[in-house]
Structure 1
């Protein structure tokens, strides 16, 4: 059992997982932070909103198998929603924790909901920041439309050539993303480009990268039935935090999730896109802490 602040490596289901504990002296129900991607990490969050949450809450970060500072699994096929859920449960077992709050951002929000469905008894409250439903064609459509709103003339010309081809919506989506350089991605993900630049500096400073292996594996083996059709089974008190300019997962996805959940509240961020935790950090932290109290 680990109860002190610090960084640790835990062997979970034969894969070494990076974890970090902050705010242990607060002795609250632990708040476990679940990162997005798929294939992302916590480097930015643990240097921005995370420490502010830890001023009041006991916060636990962990990076999923093959992500960030955790080890890469023995096989490229060793990624699935079921395995990620099992890793989470085993993590809590090793830490000796019986009940947690969870905060998942982007894909992490989707994973948080899957965990709540599989192990409802270990979850207290749920916070979702810009949650995704990545196995839905709706997300492909939202992102394509999002690129249309921020692309320059040259980008839009190339994009229209792709969209005019006889391809599936997923193929069009993949090809549109292949056009996007870092500047386009920053405009896509953020309203405030100063915040975007700070975020990109932290990405670069981290030395961590997303290999894309988890995304590829998860798309090859999506949950069945889709999460959207199972959301009404989740009864936990849930807070959804979403930027109204989110071009990545979109307000539409948050509205779907809020409507399907029986005990949820949607808080909109008027000056944010996909990262309200960065673009409106103070409101993000305050709203989250009030909900968890």
Structure 2
């Protein structure tokens, strides 16, 4: 099973920390840091780079490892990348397992903005809430995505309330501190993100392309996740026989962290059934 992680710009470190031992009991796990991310070589400023370079990188890994077919786990933006890979190499994919995936940047941005607005109101910052409420009416995908990033950045540490349901809101910050990896490695995400956004292909919605996928698909969603917005979930849940949805009632954006045993069991059961 091949793992695409979240982001854009996040590596596979936390996935391996939270799930590698559980999942490796019943399947082989291959996890990468995407090009220019974390333990991968940084992307040079003059280097051209976009979503399709990531797809080609993953196919090159499959060929190098001499794997005929594999299943894919994709989290958040990794879900977007997993679908793109399947659309380009459908004969190579046995299953798609999507954890709180993002199929449409505009939809996810609007949903996250609504979550941020609620958080601003909770903090008593009604003026900020009102300003970002206006932003939810933006229809240009890139513009609303940048507004979403602005809203989350201005929340500071409080943004973690939108991603984690339980008490360990800042688990990822602690993981970074305890990783032993240089801070500069974690900061490589910035250039990765900027180049993806500038190239622009990531802003294409994949919702209309889901119906062309014939392999078994599992969507795992935290009940309190804002990224896989309701409209995206509705498009996925169209009663096609190759699709299944598993809801995690005590999770936000990271079911693999908040409900780790259930996460591994659901994946195991799905692989047995398919």
With normalisation by structure 2, the TM-score equals 0.86
Counterpart of 1:145 (choices 90, 94, 114) is: 114
Counterpart of 2:244 (choices 265, 277, 291) is: 265
Greater share of residues in strand:
1
Provide the C-alpha distance between the structure 2 equivalents of 1:273 and 1:77, rounded to a whole number of angstroms.
35
Asked if 1:174 corresponds to 2:174, the answer is no
Compared with structure 1, are the counterparts of its residues 252 and 191 closer, same or farther at alpha carbon in structure 2 (3 Å cutoff)? farther
Provide the C-alpha distance between the structure 2 equivalents of 1:261 and 1:213, rounded to a whole number of angstroms.
39
Counterpart of 1:193 (choices 167, 175, 189) is: 167
* Aligned residue number for residue 215 of structure 1: 193
Trace 1:117-132 onto structure 2 (pairs within 5 A): 117-132=87-102
Asked if 1:99 corresponds to 2:78, the answer is no
Q: Unmatched 5+ residue regions in structure 1?
A: 1-30
List per-residue Cα deviations over 1:20-54 (Å, max 9, x = no partner). Answer: xxxxxxxxxxx111111011011111111221001
Shifted more, 103-112 versus 212-221: the winner is: 212-221
Compared with structure 1, are the counterparts of its residues 233 and 171 closer, same or farther at alpha carbon in structure 2 (3 Å cutoff)? same
Please report the RMSD computed on the Cα atoms of aligned residues, expressed in angstroms. Answer: 2.3
Trace 1:81-100 onto structure 2 (pairs within 5 A): 81-100=51-70
Trace 1:19-98 onto structure 2 (pairs within 5 A): 31-75=1-45, 77-98=47-68
1:232 touches 1:262 (CA, 8 Å); kept in 2? no
Greater share of residues in helix:
2
List per-residue Cα deviations over 1:250-269 (Å, max 9, x = no partner). Answer: 35433323439662111111
Compared with structure 1, are the counterparts of its residues 40 and 155 closer, same or farther at alpha carbon in structure 2 (3 Å cutoff)? farther
List per-residue Cα deviations over 1:189-225 (Å, max 9, x = no partner). Answer: 111022x233331122234425322222222322586
Question: How many residue pairs were aligned?
Answer: 260
Compared with structure 1, are the counterparts of its residues 93 and 64 closer, same or farther at alpha carbon in structure 2 (3 Å cutoff)? same
List per-residue Cα deviations over 1:56-97 (Å, max 9, x = no partner). Answer: 111111111001101113445533121111000000111111
1:49 touches 1:285 (CA, 8 Å); kept in 2? yes
1:77 touches 1:217 (CA, 8 Å); kept in 2? no
Q: Unmatched 5+ residue regions in structure 2?
A: none
2:35 touches 2:43 (CA, 8 Å); kept in 1? yes
Matched residue of 1:266: which SS?
A: strand
Compared with structure 1, are the counterparts of its residues 38 and 267 closer, same or farther at alpha carbon in structure 2 (3 Å cutoff)? same
Compared with structure 1, are the counterparts of its residues 47 and 174 closer, same or farther at alpha carbon in structure 2 (3 Å cutoff)? closer
List per-residue Cα deviations over 1:116-175 (Å, max 9, x = no partner). Answer: 11001111111000001243x211110011112333334443232344579753453233
Shifted more, 250-259 versus 63-72: the winner is: 250-259
Provide the C-alpha distance between the structure 2 equivalents of 1:153 and 1:288, rounded to a whole number of angstroms.
37
Provide the C-alpha distance between the structure 1 equivalents of 2:24 and 2:161, rounded to a whole number of angstroms.
30
